[in-house]
Each structure stands twice: as structure tokens, then as C-alpha cells.
Amino acid sequence: MIKNPEVKQLKDEIRRLKARISELEKTEEELKKAERELTRNEKIFRDLVELLPQTVYEMDLRGNFKFTNNYGIQCFGYTHEDIDKGVNFFQLFIPEDRERVKQNIQSILDGTALKGNEYTSLRKDGSTFQSLFYSNPILHNGKPVGLRGVVIDITDQKNAERDLKNSRDQLRNLASHLQSIREEERLIMAREIHDELGQVLTALKMDLIWMQKRLDTEQTDQLKKVQSMSDLVDMTIMTVRRISTELRPGLIDDLGLPAAIEWYCGEFQNRTGIKCDLDLDEKEHILEQDRSISVFRIFQESLTNVARHSKATKVHAHLQFDDSTLKMEIRDNGIGITEDQINSPKSLGLIGLKERVNPWGGEVIISGVHSKGTTVKVILPIKPGKIA
């Protein structure tokens, strides 16, 4: 016969068991609900992934594909059957890139955050395309079990970049060619003006002197007119010489770049009233003609900009050579050029300055400080053995 305390204890145990069973049933229902929600969310995720115009993939630590969307199937040329049979991740890259792919995968698994990596991808049929891979580790209990990522076909982008670079190179080559033609034309014009027009004016001057000697001292009006004409011819001869020299300073060919800069600085100061101080390297330098002309034109155009825009009262120029580089700096005390003016696509003159040294890998740096002036720096590599 069961005693009352034992019956009470048994009933309590039954109640606890029923409560536990109820909790387990509730938990099971919640798990089933969570599984249904997970399945639904996974389907939504898969549907969204299938809509993406990029390859989405998952792979295990051995590199075997576990999943890819339809775009990935089409992009790389494999079939779902191929994926089921086994496609290794490294089959998607040309042999030359595979070692780098391994290193990047290991870095990602080690926790290094990498940006997109560019590779040459390999399709099943052997054709290739340029690709950009973004990958993250798949973690389980805090440990990596694979990789998940996105692949973007950047072939069109690379082709556009290449075409843009080719166009830029062609434009630069054209600009360089046009500058060479312009300098040749300036040289021809300078010679023609100096030789032809200069000779005619000199002959006219001699004729006026001849006439002046043959006029009587009483013919004062005629003598004044001849003298006036002679003065006008002298002024014209000086103008012709100035124009001819500005078109192509003979000093560049005869005495070199520093002498030409020194001459132009004096001409600029006399013409504009803006004081021009020079700090020239005292060593003798032999610089090939094309580079000398380009640096002189930068100097000339920089001073022209000072006269036109800067409202400066003083300019300081510094020219220095070392074994491999020419450095020139032109600094004024004017209003200062702004960043907007420097970067404006309409500032064709400034673009022209920079392009003048581009064929030799040179650099022109333009900067300004408000109310303190503008600085133009030129850095131009010099061929070895060109400095004496």
C-alpha cells in the first residue's frame, strides 16, 4: 500500500514531467517556426542573389564551390552539373594569377581585411576576362569554414580605361607635336623678320641718310621730315628686333637657357615696370635644345601671366641644376591664384605650362596664397651626361 507522502511526490513528479513536455513541445514549435522562417528568408536571399548582375559564390576551405548563382554559371561557362561534380576555385584564374589568389585567400582567412582584388579570370572554354573579387570568410563557431564573395566583370571598365589612356597619350603627343611645329614656325618667322624686314629697314635708313646729306641746310622742313622718318625707321628696327627675339631668342642657341632667361627678365622689367630678381645657377650647363626652349617658354608665359593677372610689383625667379634635375621657381607678390583657377578646365594656359614638360616626365606645380602671391615650380629630369 502506497503511503500518502509517496503519492504526493509521484503526482508532483508527473506535473513536472507534463510541464517539461509542454515546454519541449513549445520549443519544438518555435524551432519549426524558426526553420520555416529561415527557409523563407533563404529563398528570398537566393531569389535576390539570382537577380544580381554579378557572380555570387560560396566555397569551402579546399576551394570547392558550394554555391554560385545563375549569373556565375553563365559568366564562367560551367553548368550546375559541373558544380555538383566539383569545380575548384583556382580553375577560375589563369595560372599566372593562382599563387597571388592563394596568398590573398590566406590573408582573408587570417582576418586581414582586403579590398577588391583584380585578376584575369578563366572561363571553362579557355577565354579570359578581367575581374574584381570581393571576399569574406564564412565563420562557424568563430572559425572560418570557407569563403563567400562577389565577382564583378570589369572588362568594359578596363577597356574604357585603356581607350581613355590611349586618347590621352594621343592628345599629349599631338600637343607636343604642335608645340614642336610652333617652335619651328617661330624660328622661321624670327629669321624672316630679322633678315628680310631688317634688311629692308636698314636699306631704307641708308636711303634717308643719303637724302639728308643732299638737302640744303635751308630746307628745314624737308630736313625735319627726313629726320622724323629716320627716327621712325630706328624705332621700327628696334621693334622688329624685339619681336624677332621674343619669337625665338638667339641667346638660347648661342649662350644657353640662363642667358636667355636673364635677357627676358630685363626686357620684362623694362616693359612692365615690375621688378624682376634672378637667382641663377653660376655653373655652366649644356641642356638639349628642346628642353631649353620648353623651360624658357614656361618662364616667358609665367611672367606674361604675372603682368596680366597678378597685380604684382615684384617677381623672383630661381634656376638650379644638379646631376639629374633642372629646378626653376617663379614667385610673385601679387593677389595669388586660387585653387578653382588652377583646376578650371578653362585655364588652358596653365594646362599648356604643364604639358610642356610632360614628354620628359617633368612636372609643373602651381600654387597661390591669397594676397601673398603665386608660385610656379618646374621640375625637369635631365639626361645623364647633359650637364657640363
pLDDT tens by residue, 114-126: 788 899 999 999 9
- Predicted confidence band at 183 (pLDDT cuts at 50, 70, 90)? low
Whether residue 387 is predicted with pLDDT greater than 60 in this model: the reply is no
Residue pair 287/257 in contact by the 8 Å Cβ criterion: yes
pLDDT of residue 76: 92
CA distance 262 to 204: 32
Residue pair 325/281 in contact by the 8 Å Cβ criterion: no
The CATH number of domain 52-153 is 3.30.200.20: no
CA distance 134 to 116: 5
Helix, strand or coil, per DSSP, at residue 123: coil
Q: What percent of the chain has pLDDT over 70?
A: 94
Q: Parallel, antiparallel, or unpaired for β 143-153 and 117-122?
A: unpaired
pLDDT of residue 385: 41
- Domain ranges in the chain are 1-36, 52-153, 177-248, 254-388
Q: Of the given ranges (43-52, 136-145, 263-272), which has the lowest mean pLDDT?
A: 43-52
- Cβ-proximal residues to 285 (8 Å cutoff; 6+ apart), any chain: 256, 257, 258, 321, 387, 388
CA distance 322 to 361: 16
pLDDT of residue 95: 94
Instruction: Report the sign of the C-alpha dihedral through residues 199, 201, 202, 204, in that order.
Output: positive
pLDDT of residue 3: 56
pTM over 0.75: no
- For residue 175, give the C-alpha cell: 600637343
Whether residue 386 is predicted with pLDDT greater than 60 in this model: the reply is no
Class of domain 254-388 (CATH, top level): alpha beta
**DSSP H helix total and E strand total for the chain:** 12, 10
Instruction: For 58-113, write each residue's pLDDT tens digit.
Output: 999 988 888 888 899 889 999 888 888 888 999 999 999 999 999 999 998 888 87
Most confident listed range (236-245, 258-267, 275-284, 378-387): 258-267
